[in-house]
Amino acid sequence: MILNIKNPKVQLVFKYFEEISKIPRCSGHEQEISNYLVSEGKRLGLETIQDETLNVIIKKPATEGYENNPGVILQGHMDMVCEKNKDTEHDFTKDEIKLRLEGDHLYATGTTLGADNGIAIAMGLALLASDDIPHPPLEVVYTVNEEVSMIGAMNLDGSLFKGRYIINLDSEEEGKITVSCAGGVTAVVTINKEYKEITYPKTAYSLIIKGLQGGHSGMEIDKQRGNSNVLMGRVLNNLCKNGKIEYDLVNIHGGLKNNAIPREAECVILVDSQYEESLQKEISKMLNILKNEYKTSDPEVNLECHKLEENYDKALTNEVKEKIISVLNLMPRGIQTMSADIEGLVESSTNLGVVVTNDDEIKFELATRSSVKSLKDDLNDRMDLLCKSLGVKFDLEDDYPEWEYVKNSKLEKICVDTYEEVTGKKPEIIAIHAGLECGLLLDAIKGAEAVSIGPDLFDVHTPNEHLSIGSTERTWEYLVAVLRNVK
């Protein structure tokens, strides 16, 4: 093992984490990791199911004395958000994640770590492989494509399960038991490309926004971090405001996943020579403005303007350019409402996570989240109205339900009592704004109860993602104790 984990209780967990870090598992590309899980389940001599969606279920009989206890379904997802720094050379389709330890924390090198939700894979496999942990009947299920569409959980056959206690291992804060989460949907805005010819030479410039922290569009949406796509829209609008600088827009790109706050955005513009000096001055002014506004939440924000050698003989029409600027500036963004019932809980939000110029269209993807379905519907209706007024296409994809809180849950009581037993402290019962698969699992497995737990994870969905080793050790011991106490 590369990882020198001294605590023997979690060595197996990190052995598996290191193993899966060698296997490509970006969302939508889970065939290899799914096959690995199947082979590992069969190697352990356990009943193993791989469905058509590539979800994997591995079943382990109860240990002696626990045969009649309620069965437990341990759940996590096998895909990861694949983000990297722009200067990092890494091919997520074949390169292994390069792990490194810094004190108590485990990082990748220039890429996302994949502890969201690789730590669930590792813990589940460690339980399946261990022969000294008492537990009731176990059904460990790993779903696909959670980070993009939750299609794995949507297609899960609930009749395959006998357990009625679901422990989701996709939470990111030790000492907190999640009992409710937001639902969500992907909003897609499409603008058809139309070009005009450039009849005389113009100078091309690349505008780049970079240096932002980004983060999970559910967990970090309240951190007031900059959204590179939104900021690029603001820059483009400012340049043409009041006729300051006339420019043509060639293309625009920003962000990689709609559920990650985008860290970088880039576009190419064309300007007449008479505007070149003014362009640099306006970019400098905008950079100072952004540096001031984000001095606390995103102090490394940067706006660059580089002259390009390429010559362009066409650019997007003025009408298409105006539609792009309007979408970037007018679509709802960030926190929309805060819960009046749970202090500090974001109730609804949107995240303009992806802007991409394709062959025939410019496409925008927004992650809309809400713990109240009617508010999610209202957000979508308002975006639809705006798109209709702009004459652009609006669609909804991958809708998943919110997970509503259920009072007097037996599983919640077991988890609370066990936490007090193990730590001497009370856990915090929380609802989160991020989306978990629990709502879909509860729809599929009638009569089940669910909680979500996990170790401390930081800066997920960014190349600075890191996992606390100590927290993982404590969470593992807590999970083992919960299984021992399930009755």
Q: Which residues are catalytic?
A: 79, 146
Cβ within 8 Å of residue 197, ≥6 positions away? 313, 314
Q: What is the largest CA-CA distance in the chain?
A: 84
Can you count the helices (H) and strands (E) in the chain? Answer: 11, 25
Complete DSSP assignment for 122-182 = HHHHHHHH-SS---S-EEEEEES-TTTT-HHHHT--GGG----EEEE-----TTEEEEEE-
Element (H, E) at 315: strand 314-316
The Cα–Cα gap between 179 and 176 comes to 10
Within 8 A by CB and 6+ apart from 88, the residues are 109, 110, 111, 463
Residue 344 burial (CB count, 10 A): 8
Using CA atoms in the order 272, 276, 280, 283, what is the torsion angle rounded to 10 degrees? Answer: -10
| C-alpha count within 13 angstroms, C-beta hemisphere, residue 475 | 29
Is the CB of residue 415 less than 8 Å from the CB of residue 470?
no
* φ, ψ of residue 401 in degrees (nearest 5): -80, 155
The DSSP code for 275 is G
Q: Which residues neighbour 199 within 8 Å (Cβ) at sequence distance 6 or greater?
A: none
Of 439, 484, 408, residue with least CA distance to 166: 439
Distance (Å, whole) CA 366 – CA 26:
19
Dist. CA 442–CA 409, nearest whole Å: 13
